[in-house]
Structure 1
Amino acid sequence: MSGDPEIHEENEGFEARLKAYEGRPAAATGVGRDPVNEPMIRHWCEAMGDTNPAYTGPDAIAPPTMLQAWTMAGLSRRPERTAAYDELLTLLDASGHDAVVATDCEQEYLRPLRPGGEITFDSVIESVSERKTTKLGPGYFVTTRTDIRADGELAGTHRFRILKYTPAHRPKKPPKKPEERRPRPVVNRDNAGFWEGVARHELLIQRCTGCGTLRFPWLPGCNSCGSPDWDTVGASGEGTVYSYVVMHHPPFPAFAPPFAVGLIELAEGVRIVSDVVGVPYDEVRIGMPVRLEFRRYDDELVLPVFQGVTR
């Protein structure tokens, strides 16, 4: 603390505002997505290499360290933080303590969890420390406590502590990175002609001059008759979605998920993988008609994509 009385009084007033949040809910009361169950216990034990016989058989219990696992919401859902917890963090941010680091967690086990137990839990802001000086910088430790119940009875507690601090040495912002570009296609002697056609806004399909079989992607020889001789035909650009996937993960700066990637069956009978554009990703369907277009992504890159045709 500073020796200046006015600053000392300001700190005391600020800390009193922080202390007022103690005991207030940090997250909405939650319900476990699944009851305590043997498959999750087995997966946990296999992952941890824990062969304790207490976790198997008709009288099995869950490993105590699984306590938090029963409260996890998964990738698609997040616990709902309360307005009080958001206000507390906003107050700390506004005071310059806008950096955060998780420091530690504690668990207390009060009774064993058994398969079939229905899990509920609630979280409160248990404590906000006085201003502390750390190697990272001055700040405040905020501890939340989650009480976990099985069939309505308290089974354990989980305390999670963060430090909201003002960095002692704020790093300089790195220079702005140039905009991420899409990955470049691999061009080699077997497919160079295809990419030269794309640059001219032509989608070229190989045709074996020995048996007339069309093939895509480009190959050095015919799969049907083995002939190394070929020429090309231009695709009409008409096709349908033979199959597709919607890409959500992993995020990559050059892309904006979610988006649909289709296996497109061209009118000529061959198939090509490309983006399905022009329609919402969740409206893409197998059998949907598509039409070829060429889209420029930067000064160098042009790619064939397929515009969905809605009826």
Structure 2
Amino acid sequence: MTPEETKAFEEKIRAYVGLENGPPKRGNDDVNESMIRHWAEVMGDELTTYTNAEAAAATSKEGIIAPPAMLQAWSMEGYPMAANPAQDIQRQLHNVFDAHGYTGVLGTNTSTEFFRDLRPGDQVTAHTIIDTISEQKATARGIGYFIETVTSFTDQNGEDVGRQVFRVLKFIPADGANDSAGADAADNTPAAPTRIPSPRGHDNGWWWKACDEGKVLIQRCQSCDTLRHPPRPMCGECQSIEWDSIESTLDGEIFSFTTLHYPKIPGYDYPNTVGVISLSEGTRLVANIVDIDYEKVKIGMKVKGTVEQVDEKTMLPVFRVV
């Protein structure tokens, strides 16, 4: 873009700052014990204040509460957004970015505050605004802008129950140069976009290295032999920090799954079926389920995994129904 074009573009996107994303949206369902139980089961959270009314009544909570992390879930759109999402203000803003070559999108971070526990019968309403748009930034993913939205959550009495700040990066993919990035499209063939690279740190780098070598390892406590995944420094059973690992056979069954249709992030195939797989060793793993129509995927299906190269840079376990 020329300086004049950049100025005009930035004036256009900054006109969205301060706008409400749409009317306040009340969740389709009130806070209820069934959804709390499903959440706790999938997350493997055994805290009795979420699922056991009698035990919860004997605690300082004095009854069932919803896991705080469910706050946003009570007002999310659900499956309709995959087929025909409403063109709210945020999607209109993203369309402006897309039209100017900023086709990449990456959720970078979120911060959430919880003001009180939610209980069965509470009604949650979300109020979202476009809060800020950064100056143009040069990032590892490409040149782009950070967009922050702020969502306030209120209950049936209009009282605040939580607040969430969500930050995304809209960028021109660095490996998909175009005129907006200053490249000549006639002389450059954009490279195929790759998946978002895995975050590798001190506690999980060894797991990803094994994956690069075609193996899926499961961390094992050396004190009590408890298996655990994802990797972490301390055993949740005996608090030992001594561990080794075993190699998984990648035999398992589908414990839960979802199929992603939208938004379509470069580097991924859609529909994108992602499953929580119960491995025969006793731990669970999140991975893609491939080579099957997503409408035919069922909980309880037996699956077999292999570690495969899913793009130029990434090896990942994927599972097929057997």
- Specify the structure having the higher radius of gyration (Cα): 1
